[in-house]
Structure 1
């Protein structure tokens, strides 16, 4: 058996424990591969994911790795040491399994229930007990040789040294092959002391399993422990392999299927073949394992091939997965097909001519091979590698060697394909044919664009309708008056272009235009020129205070306007003495024809010292440096205008005088009413509250002449002058 093994990768076992699909760990297994000429076994130790389960609890630093597989009535355990030293210790002292019941009927137990499942440690069978198993199981011979053989050497043969290391340490060979044999045979795993089935597990319980090397207490040797948490309730039926595809050729079929989706389920596969779709036979002697690397094309696919007994006959194939516990999955979907004899010769285009707007192709093909094909097809594409399609509605006769394309493209690639059926054809190398063309494309239309504050310019335009359009070239000018320069190295095939410009120069605008080119490099007329205004990032110049002075109404502020041409407005702010914040007072519109602006702060009283700040703002929102004023205290007159328009109503019979007025501006505290009679000059006659709007006086007699005047007292302490004299006669 060992002589059949061709090579071995030096192996450090990383035997992961049972985890979910989101927490996959890797498990090393032997990988057999077969070739279509005959089956040749090659064992490679690679890392593959752990088995299909919800169990988890994992320590990557542990030297003993454990996985589990729940079944409807039991739980299977598999484990492996990570190196030769631990493997040898396990063989010498055996393995101890302890089970802790943590959950029962979905309730966490207050204290775990411990049970030792192996009163006697699990060890490999004695050498003499392996003989019956060796006679029945070909993998038992490998394990027995690894366990008991005096020497353990592997012949590398002619295996590619890039894929397999041909010299490995003998100890690592032993542990690698021993674990490999256990991976492919549950019986060997049990005989090696590396597998156990817990048949006392309850369906309503979940367990934490511990597997450890049973080192005696008096031995001062560190022993590692593997952990796994699972339960029968986490049993999941095995899936079946998916996406099986077959490519049938001349007496050979190439199979492929998706191994990535279930790489946490299957460690290897079997392939079966049938000639009637009912009775299948396994075509591989040893399990098939993925041997590609992540750098290989389609690493998610597994590939296999098989030699077909004959062409023209339908054969059926299916695939079956294998788990680390020796379980076989349901079969995949069946694929079928027939082998076909391949075309031996390819046509060769020997001449291509352009004749009055048509293209004539001439090719060669062996006359003696005409009976092996159905005919020829003419393929055409605008690209030399992709996009080829037939322009002939049916295959041309095998005896033909010429074809005229009466509706050619301006530029096209041609192939001649010798055709037998849908699965068998062979094409010539492509040739390029270009029709003479002096007609330029249409002028580009719809050029638009915009620039942002970072200097990025985005241009777009309408797509041209010329069938031979090749691309567009972009031209730019900084002023629109100087020469436009091309900014594209190669033609732009899209209708969108991004340019970068400087935002720090003094040019407020940038100009663009484009031309279209066809495949013969005929150039269209230029598009209309597009003018793009740059976003303004330069702040305007600051205004300058000309004067700031007290007036009877408040504080008058006058400043020289900013000299920048794009100023929109001025923002005036005020700060009181002792404050740290500025209060926005007003926005003053900028008037281009005036050299200065002014603002009257009518709210500035005599109470405190104030400072003013003014900034200019342009139409892009840029703000100038502020201009600051000197501190100034307001000086407002405490005399306010008198009350005006007082209406008088006299009732001579009752001797009543009624004065009425409208509420003036300002916060009024009191009204003072003064009266003058024939006998007495003006004196304070009555005091009214600030919300009063009328005054009544009684006792006017016949012949009396009274005069009235009113003064207002404001809350800020200011007073008004006397109103005009009001004379009342009876």
Structure 2
């Protein structure tokens, strides 16, 4: 018989996956399994490496059987030889099976080549790694798994027909004793007829699908000791004919790094989207027998990627406010269920749909009847499938001639927080084609205003941290609007934002309290700080706490009259200076005052006056008594309350400014003995 290597090569190329038969680690060089089928016992064995397989091909095996008693103990003396040697069939016996059994062709070509080649010594195990030998060994065992005839012809299988189904049998097999000087391992297996098979068929565990494939998963670790290969079949739901998906027995071969992969995996690439399929599998055992088919599994190829996209968008103007958008769409799998046309006035975002219902999948044009005349428009076509997946086209752009700038921004305000953040805000312009805003700043309103940020500000609020240690008290800001055609508005009116002030103002100090009958005139020096906003006055009676009584809220008011006093009251006053940043400074010294009853013992002064030529000043004149220590002058308001007070020493005149209308003054003198004169009142009209 001549079995050419060409036929073997043809088989190897047509096999879906190249892999050796799965084996189990063992200290033995031989392994045997058995299965009862009716009144017969099917036996299969295999050497566990290529060296022993090659020697087994040449010298054969010895198979024996004995029975087990009720306790499961083997009758060692009862082992029966089935033949002196189980050996590879001769060429003549092999030849009749070749035309109808391709696995006989494979096994025969491999085995007879191995017998004729130089034998490999068993004491040289490194030869096991020979790639060619390993491939021959793997496919010889695979062929025996796929065909009972190939197993028997290869001396790797035997059918025991002389059995009693009421007995429990133990089989053992070992390499032929004619192997001189080599140890001969023995393998055992037990068959019990009243014990059913562990696995009647494999079952599909689950599946995973995407746009174009359905992948089946079933247990690999569980089934690998029972099934050598598998068949996979598919049928459309509601169909009547199963289609076999594998041309050759299917074996899953994980990569070396996944040798313990938990699942066998098969991917069906010939599927249609949206079609329901039913799958089933069966297993091929090492005895060359196919199991029943598994329970069926329903699966569908679903879309997880985007549907086809609209292309070649073009715009044709119909009128000044009307245009037609057209596009192309290639949807060979009929995925698209509808489309949406969206418009924006920015090419990057802000796209809004122009209609509420989906356009049909075969629509290729859309008319926009309300195209704004003042700004450019951008269009996109969104395609949707029935699972909600969508895709968006590139932008189609329509351009108008627009030279009208946006209006000047209004409502600009700013705040400089203590943390150093300057926050600006302004009103949103009414133009629909606004693209953003530019912000400018300067250290003085008369200086050049520089651009603060290179990018357009897309909001009406802007925040930026500034150095607080600048020399200027304020930073000045302007804002400018920009539309989508890059027309710019006039700059807004500037605002000034005050730098955070953490330095308290200079303190104010009291003048002596001036008593007027039962009232006290309280006055103080004006703070030398330029940012003073006002003064707070506190008062306390003897043995009591200070109480707030007045906030001037004006840096120019530096006095007040306390009318809530009684004779012999002893009070203290305190002044707190605060600036426009609400920093406060306490006066260095409080002032104490006791209201005494005054007895006017001295006659009043005789006072005359002259007005300046411009009528803005008045000169008060008098003759000071010889015992006068000082002259007190008070400028009164219309109600007679003291507005300002002055003390004059060693002079007989005083010059003051005049206010519009009637100006009232009162004068008295105090002697060195603290005696006081009566008041002299003078009225001067401006």
TM-score by length of 1: 0.39
| Higher Cα Rg, which structure | 2
TM-score by length of 2: 0.41
